[in-house]
Chains A and B, each alone.
Chain A
Amino acid sequence: MSVKVNIHPVLRHMTKGQSVVEVKGSTVGQCLKQLVAQFPETESALFNKDGRLLSYVEIYVNRESSYPEELKKKVADGDEIHIVLMLTGG
């Protein structure tokens, strides 16, 4: 089982510049945990102290929003996760 996690440009300095990280897992939560295991700096950029996703972090699975229960969302081999951040500038 391999799932591709697309890393938002703002977070790439935490993944040694990698734009895509391959992980294993059957839910979004498991996949993101693996991402954090590989790149520990990403933890504080994605989760709050209670382990919940930060409010401005958006998760898409195969380009579809996985809100509201993002971490429980099931993923399968070959799926793609996108980590995207809400932008506010104008």
Chain B
Amino acid sequence: MLTESDMERYDRQIIIDGLGQEGQERLKKARVVIAGSGGLGSAVSVYLVAAGVGTVRLIDHDRVELSNLNRQVLHWDKDIGRRKVISASEKLRSLNPGVTIEAVDETIKEDNVARLVAGFDMIVDAMDNFPVRLMLNKAALDRNIPFFYGGVHGFEGRAMTIIPGRTACLKCVYHGSIPGDKIPVVGATPAVIGSIQATEVIKYIVGIGELLADTLLVYNGLDMEFTRFKVKRDPDCEHCGKWRDEVKNEC
């Protein structure tokens, strides 16, 4: 149930056609994992918390460094050296005390990923590397919950929404990463992509609009262009291939 204060706080989105009080109640009940509290994580978490998503779990094991501050806007100069999840959850709680924010200071690994996402309705990818993204992709498919992919590089970014059993997954479209360990990024790029991911999450929860399903959206900030590319589910995909449907049918 929405309180009087909720009605006022979320007034400007409750008046959106197709969202309404019912949509706001759905947002309040939703439980979202945001994996990574860096550039993408800052943008995604600010907009989901501001929108009144009921429970948000932040997972990150890093500490804030000076070189993060050009883009990871939830962390400020005074936070250098602090745990990112502590720094981020502090700001998010003061933005919206009505949201339950869980700060999980752990590294996501093969042997803990299932536990870290258990009990949640969706996973947002705000990671900065592919091995963990793929673990999250698989964990989302295993739990049969949606996964919201985002990635950035320089002035460019991309996003895609994965609905288990219905759309191509991240493993279907991922075949390798650009080599190099220091990724260039201007802060506005993860802000664009993180905002797109947050929009997708809100649409999914409320049940309105068209998702980036089987669609890779590529943002090119230099030419200021968005391009939608069609992708296909790979029937032999190790994560979401036909074998999964067959295993399900046997059960």
Q: Which of chain A's residues has its CB closest to B130's CB? A: A88
Q: Which of chain B's residues has its CB closest to A85's CB? A: B178
Chain A positions within 8 Å of B223 at CB level: 9, 19
**A76 interfacial contact with B, CB 8 Å:** no
Which of A25-33, A34-42, A61-69 is the interface stretch?
Answer: A61-69
Measured between C-beta atoms, what is the minimum distance from A19 to chain B in Å?
A: 7
Interface string of A42-74 (1 = CB under 8 A from B): 000000000000111010100111011000000
Are B222 and A55 closer than 8 Å at their CB atoms?
A: no
Are B154 and A65 closer than 8 Å at their CB atoms?
A: no
How many angstroms from the CA of A54 to the CA of B176 in the assembled complex?
8
**B41 interfacial contact with A, CB 8 Å:** yes
Q: Which of chain A's residues has its CB closest to B175's CB? A: A55
**B183 interfacial contact with A, CB 8 Å:** yes
Chain A positions within 8 Å of B157 at CB level: 87
Chain A positions within 8 Å of B216 at CB level: 65
Are A9 and B227 closer than 8 Å at their CB atoms?
A: no
Are B229 and A9 closer than 8 Å at their CB atoms?
A: no
**B192 interfacial contact with A, CB 8 Å:** no
How many angstroms from the CA of A10 to the CA of B222 in the assembled complex?
11
How many angstroms from the CA of A86 to the CA of B158 in the assembled complex?
9
> 8 Å CB contacts to A: which residues of B165-200?
173-178, 183-185, 190
Contacts A89-B39, A90-B127 given; does A65 touch B185 at CB 8 Å: no
Chain A positions within 8 Å of B54 at CB level: none
User: Interface residue tally of chain B, by bracket?
Assistant: 35 or more
> 8 Å CB contacts to B: which residues of A4-19?
9-10, 19
Measured between C-beta atoms, what is the minimum distance from B223 to chain A in Å?
A: 7
Contacts A9-B222, A65-B229, A65-B232 given; does A90 touch B152 at CB 8 Å: yes
**B39 in complex: contacting residue of A56, A68, A90, CB < 8 Å:** A90
Q: Of residues B158, B218, B227, which shows the largest number of chain A Cβ atoms within 10 Å of its Cβ?
A: B218
How many angstroms from the CA of A68 to the CA of B236 in the assembled complex?
11
Chain A positions within 8 Å of B190 at CB level: 89-90
**B150 interfacial contact with A, CB 8 Å:** yes
Q: Of residues A56, A67, A85, A90, which shows the largest number of chain B Cβ atoms within 10 Å of its Cβ?
A: A90
How many angstroms from the CA of A67 to the CA of B235 in the assembled complex?
12
**A87 in complex: contacting residue of B36, B126, B178, B228, CB < 8 Å:** B178
Are A86 and B176 closer than 8 Å at their CB atoms?
A: yes
How many angstroms from the CA of A86 to the CA of B234 in the assembled complex?
17
Q: Which of chain A's residues has its CB closest to B185's CB? A: A89
Residues in chain A within 8 A of chain B (CB atoms): 9-10, 19, 54-56, 58, 60, 63-65, 67-68, 82, 84-90
Residues in chain B within 8 A of chain A (CB atoms): 36, 38-41, 125-130, 133, 150-158, 173-178, 183-185, 190, 216, 218, 220, 222-223, 227-232, 234
Given contacts A58-B173, A86-B175, A89-B153, 4 further A-B contacts (CB under 8 A): A65-B232, A68-B234, A88-B129, A88-B133
* Nearest 4 pairs of A and B residues by beta carbon: A55-B176, A90-B128, A89-B183, A87-B151
